[in-house]
């Protein structure tokens, strides 16, 4: 069975502009650009949840926006349900959108302040179904019920809702057309800790009931562990490791993954752990190191790390991009 | 507190003027256009509260009827400028690039002329029918709204709800005009109120120099122009009362616009 979503060699560069940049270009011949995504390949099977982790600025959200073509990728291919998305015309793409939805990071900014809950949730139905007014109304209530909100909220405006309710409305909008793939772009990072667990559990329930596939983007490893079957780790625009969740958490192989996992606090004061600490800061995505992107920060770096490195399968379904593994 | 009282007074003034204009046939004591040879140049008194002009026409009746013309022309011009400005500004702000360049240079061209000179030029060239006055004022006001809407659009198009609208599958036109434009409105409403005052002033000024509304149609600026030549001979009322009408109306719109701005700007921005 071919995967539901297949991304191959996706690249997104934001070229820099300005006089200084132009002069630089003349000298160096390589047009400078922010290399937000630099050759990402991944696949998600129908019904599966892939977790995508990485620190701020590593390109997670850019990747999400490229998948939905909210921004146009520079190169690479995205196949959804065996249809190439990157070359799809505007109208076919628009119709495809009912199958690929997204829940955004900021529950407040992603709701139109002048739309009532009803209008927000009915919007996708208006665009993708033949339902009449009464039908849409009924369906909106049903969807709202699914995300645990009562019909009494239908005529409220976003500023009359709590943060958790807002994110539920966002989820309701995303699932209204029963999409096959939902991209969750850090859906809980703007919420209180107490609300996070509930939203994550809701997302889990919805997946079971509606048979949806998730790409779950987060920098919160605990929630990723709970929700995802496989995890991909992203660093500076590339995927450095990809493995089934339990495998990744038990046997992380890439030094970056090991550093990430060893940074999770353990609620046991006597626990002694081996900490892998990276040196310095994340390099600028304008000036990425040649070879392995981690080599200047990696405590294990060797001369060989200056050579280009690609993902390879070291164990069944366990892919790592490191010379030393 | 005192500011509030003042703005409420101004709002009251606007509502009164609108009310009088609407009820002109009922309120005006005389036919505004009927000359009365035996009553020319009467000073304000019991028969004619605001006096009569050289043809013996009742000034109060003429001012009340003129309110219709002035308000209607200003309102039509503002509505026309607002609509055009919304469409141009929204497209320029959302699309950016070439559309933005073309629209903004067009707007710059209009702004390069002093507004009143431009309005004069247009009415002089197109002929001074009332419709032309409306269009002339509308053209001079388009830049205000276009630039304002554009800058607001630049702000809201970066909001996540703009992306969400695309994700859901809206067409671009729907995103711009249904999802984003309403979020640009609060500062525009303020501007439109202020611009209404300016529009009235421009109608009156154009008519004052003979390029606007034509006699015998009563209009405040034209009436003031007629009265201007009688100031030296002592018939001050012909000039004064239309002038006061212009002043009070424009001032009222400005005061209301100002307090709307104070009300909408700092705290309520972006709140429905």
Average pLDDT for chain A: 91
Residue with tokens 């690479």: A76
The answer to whether the Cβ–Cβ distance between A157 and B160 falls below 8 Å is: no
User: What's the pTM value of the predicted model, to 2 decimals?
Assistant: 0.85
CA distance linking residue B76 with residue A179, whole number of Å: 47
pLDDT, tens digit, for every residue of A133-169? 999 999 999 999 999 999 999 999 999 999 999 999 9
Residue A157: list chain B partners with CB under 8 A. Answer: 272
Q: How many Cα atoms are found within 13 Å in the side-chain-facing hemisphere of A41? A: 9
CA distance linking residue A153 with residue B23, whole number of Å: 44
Q: What angle do CA B212, B214, B218 make, to 5 degrees?
A: 105
Q: A171 CB near a chain B CB, below 8 Å?
A: no
The answer to whether the Cβ–Cβ distance between B169 and A95 falls below 8 Å is: yes
Average pLDDT, 10 consecutive residues per value, chain B (272 residues): 80 94 90 86 87 89 94 96 96 95 96 93 90 95 96 94 95 95 91 94 93 87 90 90 95 92 63 43
The answer to whether the Cβ–Cβ distance between B164 and A127 falls below 8 Å is: no
CA distance linking residue B4 with residue B95, whole number of Å: 40
Which of B159, B167, B170 shows the shortest C-beta gap to A70? B167
Q: DSSP letter at B179?
A: I
Listed residue (B167, B209, B201, B80) closest to A182, CA to CA: B167
Q: A97 CB near a chain B CB, below 8 Å?
A: yes
Mean of the pLDDT values across residues A173-188?
94
pLDDT at A96: 93
Q: Chain A: nearest CA to B113, how far in angstroms?
A: 32
pLDDT, tens digit, for every residue of A202-233? 999 999 999 999 999 998 888 899 999 999 99
ipTM exceeding the 0.85 mark: yes
CATH superfamily membership of B5-269: MetI-like (1.10.3720.10)
- Alpha helices, DSSP H only, in B113-209? 115-126, 130-156, 160-168, 172-174, 185-208
pLDDT at A28: 65
Burial B41-55 (b: 16+ CB within 10 A, else e): bbebeeebebbbbee
Between A194 and A240, where is the model more confident? A240
pLDDT at B269: 46
Q: Give the helix/strand (H/E) hosting A231.
A: strand A230-235
pLDDT at B271: 46
Q: B181 CB near a chain A CB, below 8 Å?
A: no
pLDDT at B221: 93
Please report the DSSP string for A96-160 in residue order: HGGGEEEE-S-TTTTS-TTS-HHHHHHHHHHHH----HHHHHHHHHHHHHHTT--GGGTT--GGG
Task: Decide if pLDDT at A19 tops 80.
Answer: no
Q: B8 CB near a chain A CB, below 8 Å?
A: no
pLDDT, tens digit, for every residue of A48-105? 999 999 988 899 999 999 999 999 999 999 999 989 999 999 999 999 999 999 999 9
Substitution target from A62, A97, A110 for chain B, most B beta carbons within 10 A: A110
Q: A157 CB near a chain B CB, below 8 Å?
A: yes
Q: Taking the domains of chain B in order of start, what are their residue ranges? A: 5-269
Q: Chain B: nearest CA to A2, how far in angstroms?
A: 25
Which of A105, A127, A159 shows the shortest C-beta gap to B168? A127
């Amino acid at each position: 069975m071919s995967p539901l979503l297949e991304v191959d060699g996706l690249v997104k560069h934001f070229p820099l502009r300005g006089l200084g940049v132009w002069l630089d270009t003349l000298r160096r011949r390589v047009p400078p650009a922010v290399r937000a995504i630099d050759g990402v390949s991944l696949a998600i099977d129908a019904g599966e949840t892939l977790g995508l982790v990485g620190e701020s600025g590593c390109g997670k959200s850019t990747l999400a926006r490229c998948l939905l073509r909210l921004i146009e990728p520079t190169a690479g291919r995205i196949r959804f349900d065996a249809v190439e998305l990157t070359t799809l015309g505007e109208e076919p793409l628009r119709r495809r959108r009912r199958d690929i939805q997204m829940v955004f990071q900021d529950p407040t900014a992603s709701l139109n302040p002048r739309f009532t809950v009803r209008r927000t949730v009915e919007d996708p139905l208006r665009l993708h179904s033949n339902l009449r007014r009464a039908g849409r109304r009924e369906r909106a209530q049903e969807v709202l019920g699914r995300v645990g909100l009562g019909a009494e909220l239908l005529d409220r405006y976003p500023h009359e809702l709590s943060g958790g309710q807002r994110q539920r409305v966002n989820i309701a909008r995303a699932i209204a057309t029963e999409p096959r793939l939902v991209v969750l772009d850090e859906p809980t990072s703007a919420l209180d800790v107490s609300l996070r667990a509930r939203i994550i559990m809701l997302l889990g329930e919805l997946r079971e009931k509606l048979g949806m596939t998730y790409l779950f983007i987060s920098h919160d490893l605990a929630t990723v562990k709970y929700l995802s079957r496989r995890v991909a780790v992203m660093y500076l625009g590339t995927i450095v490791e990809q493995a089934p969740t339990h495998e990744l958490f038990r046997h992380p192989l890439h030094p970056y993954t090991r550093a990430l996992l060893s940074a999770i606090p353990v609620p046991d004061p006597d626990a002694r752990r081996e900490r892998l600490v990276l040196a310095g800061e994340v390099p600028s995505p304008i000036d990425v190191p040649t070879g392995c992107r981690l080599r200047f920060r990696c405590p294990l770096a060797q001369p060989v790390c200056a050579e280009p490195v690609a993902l390879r399968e070291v164990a069944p379904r366990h892919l790592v991009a490191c010379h030393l593994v | 507190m005192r500011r509030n009282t003042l703005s409420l007074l101004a709002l009251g003034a606007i509502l009164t003027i609108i009310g009088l204009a609407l009820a002109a046939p009922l309120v005006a004591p005389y036919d505004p256009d009927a000359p009365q040879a035996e009553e020319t140049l009467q000073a304000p008194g019991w028969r004619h509260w605001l006096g009569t002009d050289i043809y013996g026409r009742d000034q109060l009746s003429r001012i009340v009827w003129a309110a219709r013309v002035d308000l209607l022309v200003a309102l039509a011009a503002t509505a026309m400028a607002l609509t055009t400005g919304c469409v141009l500004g929204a497209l320029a702000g959302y699309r950016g690039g070439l559309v933005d360049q073309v629209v903004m240079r067009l707007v710059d061209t209009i702004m390069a002329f002093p507004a009143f000179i431009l309005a004069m030029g247009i009415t002089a060239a197109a002929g001074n029918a009332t419709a032309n006055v409306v269009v002339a004022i509308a053209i001079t006001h388009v830049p205000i709204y276009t630039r304002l809407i554009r800058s607001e659009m630049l702000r809201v198009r970066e909001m996540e709800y703009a992306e969400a609208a695309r994700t859901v599958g809206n067409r671009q036109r729907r995103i711009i005009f249904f999802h984003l434009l309403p979020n640009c409105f609060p500062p525009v409403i303020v501007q439109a109120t202020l611009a209404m005052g300016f529009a009235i002033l421009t109608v009156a000024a154009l008519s004052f120099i003979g390029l606007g509304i034509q006699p015998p149609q009563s209009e405040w600026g034209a009436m003031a122009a007629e009265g201007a030549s009688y100031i030296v001979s002592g018939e001050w009322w012909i000039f004064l009362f239309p002038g006061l009408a212009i002043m009070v109306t424009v001032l009222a719109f400005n005061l209301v616009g100002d307090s709307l701005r104070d009300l909408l700007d700092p705290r309520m921005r972006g709140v429905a």
